[in-house]
Amino acid sequence: MAGLNNSCTFLDDFLKRYYLSASYGIIFIVGVIGNLTSISIYLTKLRPWKSSSIIMVNLALTDLLYVLTLPFLVYYYSNGESWMLGDFMCRFVRFAFHFHLYGSILSLTCVAVFRFLVVAQPLRVAQLQQKHWGAAACLVVWIVAAAEVTPMLTIISLTHDDNNMTFCVDFANTETDGSIRMYNLLLTAFGFALPLVLVFIFYIGIVKRLARGSSPTSSYRMRARRVTILILLVFVMCYLPYHILRVLWVEIRMSSTTQCTKYIVHAAYIISRPLAGLNTFFNLALYTLSGDNFRKAFLDIFCREQWIIYIISALN
């Protein structure tokens, strides 16, 4: 039995030191390059902005701020979970990680809402594309995300063990009591499950209107459907496993199951955490499907640079 527990402990430590470090490192590199490129294209090539442009820039900015917290976590986990940056940075990094994660979820929900309205109210597309609607949606996203995640500032703190090591643990790994359990359930329900239900409802609405519309294959209608399908994939593939396993982990910590069972559930929860960050990969594809001539601007920049490199190399 002791050997089994040692194996479970080894798996847990291995995943945190190597899997989390490598996964977060890859997400950071791709996320920084991709989102900086996307933001620069919107800033330089796609003006004047419409409401959809503002929401997309907000999504890219949210993803960028999210991935900028990852180097701290890469260092933390690769260093054997030894935190040396103090209590303030611990709270800030954990808060920022979740704040921008839920900001991204809400931003994707806003995209689905606007795509539904484009299909449901085609005669009001020009009105919906006015910039103040996009700015208002982004403001709501930041306010709601802050309200959802602010309680973490009172939950997260540094912990110490008998070997005088300092840990900066995720809120789901803090000392579990009834309040943390309830907060976890509420955050999952309102921060993830409700947006998921809304996106699904809007997708069904888009499909129904496309089926009975006079021009079901028009470009903006089909684009709205593809964008909403991609958003649903992000919710199901990235966010769903993470939230299910986080709830399961918090619940099982309060149960009387065996220690090794807890280690196995925790290992599954660790595996799901980088999956939530993979949404930034899907979001990069979302920009090319969203219209606003993003794909044309992207190809214009990079194809032109490739031709310049080719000409210079030919002259040399």
Name the β-bridge partners of 163. none
In degrees, rounded to 5, the angle at the alpha carbon of residue 238 between the alpha carbons of residues 233 and 242 is 140
State how far the Cα of 316 lies from the Cα of 310, in Å rounded to an integer.
10
The reported pLDDT for the residue numbered 245 is 93
| Token code pair at residue 27 | 């997400």
| Token code pair at residue 21 | 């470090």
Q: Could you tell me the residue ranges of all domains in the chain?
A: 2-315
Say if residue 216 is preceded by a cis peptide, omega within 30 of 0.
no
The reported pLDDT for the residue numbered 26 is 93
The reported pLDDT for the residue numbered 65 is 87
The model carries a pTM of 0.83
The reported pLDDT for the residue numbered 236 is 87
Cβ atoms of 131 and 51 closer than 8 Å: yes
Cβ atoms of 176 and 253 closer than 8 Å: yes
Name the β-bridge partners of 158. 168
State how far the Cα of 155 lies from the Cα of 169, in Å rounded to an integer.
10
| Token code pair at residue 296 | 């044309």
State how far the Cα of 33 lies from the Cα of 286, in Å rounded to an integer.
16
CA 205 to chain centre: 25
Q: Going residue by residue through the chain (316 aa), what tens digit of pLDDT does each one get?
A: 444 456 667 777 788 888 999 999 999 999 998 888 888 887 877 667 778 788 888 888 888 888 898 999 999 998 888 888 888 888 888 898 899 889 889 988 888 888 788 777 766 766 767 888 888 888 999 999 999 999 988 888 788 776 778 888 888 887 767 788 899 999 999 999 999 999 888 888 877 777 775 554 456 666 667 777 878 888 888 899 999 999 999 888 877 777 778 888 888 999 999 998 888 888 877 776 665 566 666 666 666 555 545 444 554 4
State how far the Cα of 167 lies from the Cα of 73, in Å rounded to an integer.
12
| Token code pair at residue 233 | 């994939």
Query: Which residue type occupies 205?
Result: G
Superfamily (CATH) of domain 2-315: Rhodopsin 7-helix transmembrane proteins (1.20.1070.10)
Q: What are phi and psi of 79, to 5 degrees?
A: -95, 20
- Number of Cβ within a 10 Å radius of residue 113: 16
State how far the Cα of 47 lies from the Cα of 145, in Å rounded to an integer.
28
Helices (H), the chain: 2-14, 21-44, 51-67, 70-78, 86-120, 125-128, 131-149, 152-155, 178-188, 194-212, 219-234, 240-253, 259-277, 279-289, 294-315
- Token pair 């709501």 in the structure block, residue: 140
The reported pLDDT for the residue numbered 213 is 59
Terminal CA-CA length for the chain: 69
The angle, 0 to 180 degrees and rounded to 10, between the axes of the packed helices 279-289 and 21-44 is 20
Q: Is 46 exposed, middle or buried (0-12, 13-18, 19+ CB in 10 A)?
A: middle
166's enclosing H/E stretch is strand 166-168
The reported pLDDT for the residue numbered 312 is 45
